[in-house]
Amino acid sequence: ETGVTQSPTHLIKTRGQQVTLRCSSQSGHNTVSWYQQALGQGPQFIFQYYREEENGRGNFPPRFSGLQFPNYSSELNVNALELDDSALYLCASNRDAETQYFGPGTRLLVL
Amino acid sequence: QKEVEQNSGPLSVPEGAIASLNCTYSDRGSQSFFWYRQYSGKSPELIMFIYSNGDKEDGRFTAQLNKASQYVSLLIRDSQPSDSATYLCAVKRNAGNMLTFGGGTRLMVKP
C-alpha cells in the first residue's frame, strides 16, 4: 500500500467540459505530483505542489490547474477538455525527499 | 532525442532466466534513477532506485548505473511469469522533484 488514494477511478466526459480529479495522501506527505499517462507511453509530469504552493510545472497548458489542501489532499482541474486529454492521471506523493509513490490513478475518457 | 529512452519491447525471456532491461538518458544533470513496474491497467509501483555508479541489489533485482555512459539497467534474476509487466525507467535532477520517464519496456516471462 502506498497510502495514496485517488477518485474517481474512471470518468467519461465530452469535449469542452471541465473535470476535477482528487488525490489524498498520508499525513506528513508534503509534496504531491500529478502525471498524465497516455496509452502506451510513460507518465508525463504535469505539476507538483509543496505545502500548498505550486513547486514546478511540466509542459502542459494553463487549462491544467491544481490545488493542494492542508489535509494532504490535492485536486487536478482540467478545463475545456480535448480528445487528447484521454489518459490515466496519476497522483504521487513523497514519503521522503527522493521517492515518489503513486496512487491507483483515474482513467479519463474524453468523447 | 527523447530525454529517457527505453526499448519498448516486448522482451521475452523464459521462466528462471535473467531479464535485462536498459535505459539511457540525455540530461547529465540527472542525479537519481528509478525503476517502476506497471502491470496492465494499474499504476506504477516503485521497485528500486539508485544514485551512485555501480550496482545496487534488492532481492532478485539489481540496478546498475553508469553516469559516464548515461546508462541505467535493471536485472531481474530467476524471472517469474508474475514479473511480466511494463518496466519504466525514470530520472530526476537534483533540484526539484520532477520525474522524467521513459516509454517503458514490456517484459514477458514465459513458463
Prior bond of A61 cis (ω within 30°): no
Binned at pLDDT 50, 70 and 90, residue B94 comes out as low
Average pLDDT score over chain A: 93
pLDDT of residue B95: 62
Work out the burial of residue B16: count CB atoms within 10 Å of its CB; fewer than 13 is exposed, 13-18 middle, 19 or more buried.
exposed
Contact B28, B38 (CB under 8 A): no
Task: Say if the Cβ atoms of A100 and B104 lie within 8 Å.
Answer: no
User: Nearest-CA neighbor of B103 among A4, A89, A2, A37?
Assistant: A37
What percent of chain A stands above pLDDT 90? 76
Distance from CA of B17 to the nearest CA of A (A): 26
State yes or no: pLDDT of A29 exceeds 80.
no
- Residue of B33, B45, B97 best to disrupt the A interface, most CBs of A under 10 A: B97
Binned at pLDDT 50, 70 and 90, residue B61 comes out as very high
Task: Say if the Cβ atoms of B44 and A90 lie within 8 Å.
Answer: yes
State yes or no: pLDDT of B96 exceeds 70.
no
Q: Does B61 touch chain A (CB under 8 A)?
A: no
Phi then psi for residue A83, to 5 deg, are: -55, -35
Summarised one tens digit per residue, pLDDT across range A72-101 is: 899 999 999 999 999 999 999 987 767 889
- Here the cell at position B7 is 526499448
- Here the cell at position B9 is 519491447
State yes or no: pLDDT of A5 exceeds 90.
yes
